[in-house]
Amino acid sequence: MTAMCLSHPLWKGTASIGTELTFTRTDGTYSNDDQSHLSSDTRIRENNSAGFAEYDFTVGNFTFGAGLRFEHINSDYYSSGIREAEPSRTYNDWFPNASVAWQKDKWNWQLNYSRRINRPSYFQLRNFIQYDNRYTYEGGNPLLRPQLNHRLELSAIYSWLSLQVRYTYSQSTMCWVPVLEPDKRYILLCTRNYGDAQRLFASLVAAPRFGVYRPTVTLSFNKVFFDAEQYGSRLTHHRPLWRFELRNTFVAIPGQLCWACVSQVMPMTSFRASSIIGRLGRVSTNPSSTRRCWSTSMPTTFSRPVRNDGPPTASAPISPRIATTLTAPSA
C-alpha cells in the first residue's frame, strides 16, 4: 500500500488532498480427498486506487468540514487458472462526507453525514465449503457485492449528559444466514446480499459525579427496518431493542483503587416473534457466581411468553445482569 497526503492552511481552515494505491494478491487452495464437495483453486488480483480532498474551517463557535473520496477498484477472479467474468468486478464509487459542529461553554453539538462502503473480505469470497458437522456446512460466496451505507448522525453533549442519534441506510445488505440446500440434508451457512435495510439507533448517557460515587446510566434504542418475510423468513423486526445499563463506580483512592457494580437490562438475542404478551412471565435466577481476578457475576433472567401466528414456540427474555468489579493497579 502506498499513500500520500498534503495539507496546507487555506483561509480560516485547512485543506488536504491525497491519494492511496493498494495492490492485493490472494491465493486459495482447497483439497477434498473424499470428494463430498468439489476441490477448488482460486486466485484474486485486486488493484485499488483512490483520491480524496478535505477542507475544515472555523467561524465563531461553529466548525464546518467537507470531503470527497473517489475509489476505482479492479478485481479479477480466477478459478483453476481461468478468469471468471461474474465474480470479477470493476467499481467506481464516490464517497462524500460533511459535518458541522457548535461548541459553547458546556454545550457541544455535532451533525455528520457520510457515505461509506463495507466490502466483503477475502474469507467471505472463498470458493469452497467447510464441514462443521453432519447437519451443518459453511462456505464463501464469490458473487458477494459490497454493502453501501449512508449514515446521518447527531450528537449533543451538555456537561455530564450526552445524546447520540444515528440513522443508517444500507444498500445490498450483507447477511450471514443459514440456507437449507435443495435436495440436501444439511444447512449451509454463508454470506449473501439482500435488499435495502434501515437502522435507527439512539442512546442517552448520564455520568454525574457525587464525590467518590460516580454512576453512569445508559439508555439505548435500536430499531431495524428490514422486510425479511419477502425472503421466506419468519423472523420479523417489528419491535425495537431497548437496553438499560447502570454502572455504579466508587473511587476510594483516585487513580489507584475503585469498585464498580454494573446492572444491565436488555432482551437477549433475536427472536422470531411479531408480538409480545404484556404481562411478565416466569422468573429464573442462577445463584452460581463466577470469579475471575476480583470480579463476580450473578445473572438473573426474566422471560416473557411470545405469541406467534401459531402456538407459542419462542420467548423474548429480558436479562438483568448484575456484576461487581474491584480494580487496583498492577504490581
Q: What pTM, to 2 d.p., does this model score?
A: 0.77
pLDDT for position 301: 33
Segment 300-303 long-range contacts (CB within 8 Å, at least 24 positions apart) = 301/268
| Rg value, the chain, Cα | 25
pLDDT digits (tens, 9 = 90+) for 175-201: 998 888 777 788 899 999 999 999 999
Q: How confident is the model at residue 72 (pLDDT cuts 50, 70, 90)?
A: very high
Name the residue type at position 209: R
Q: E strands, 195-314, where? A: 197-206, 213-225, 241-253, 257-265, 275-276, 283-285, 290-292, 295-307
pLDDT for position 308: 36
Which residue from 41, 173, 67 is spatially nearest to 120, judged by alpha carbons?
A: 173
Distance, first Cα to last Cα, the chain: 41
Sheet holding 187-193, edge to edge: 129-133, 136-139, 187-193, 174-180
* Average pLDDT value for residue range 43-47: 94
Residue 306: other Cβ atoms inside 10 A = 19
- Position 237 pLDDT exceeds 60: yes
- Position 134 pLDDT exceeds 90: no
* Average pLDDT value for residue range 294-314: 35
Which residue from 151, 129, 154, 156 is spatially nearest to 140, judged by alpha carbons?
A: 129
d(CA 71, CA 53): 12
Q: What are phi and psi of 144, to 5 degrees?
A: -60, 140
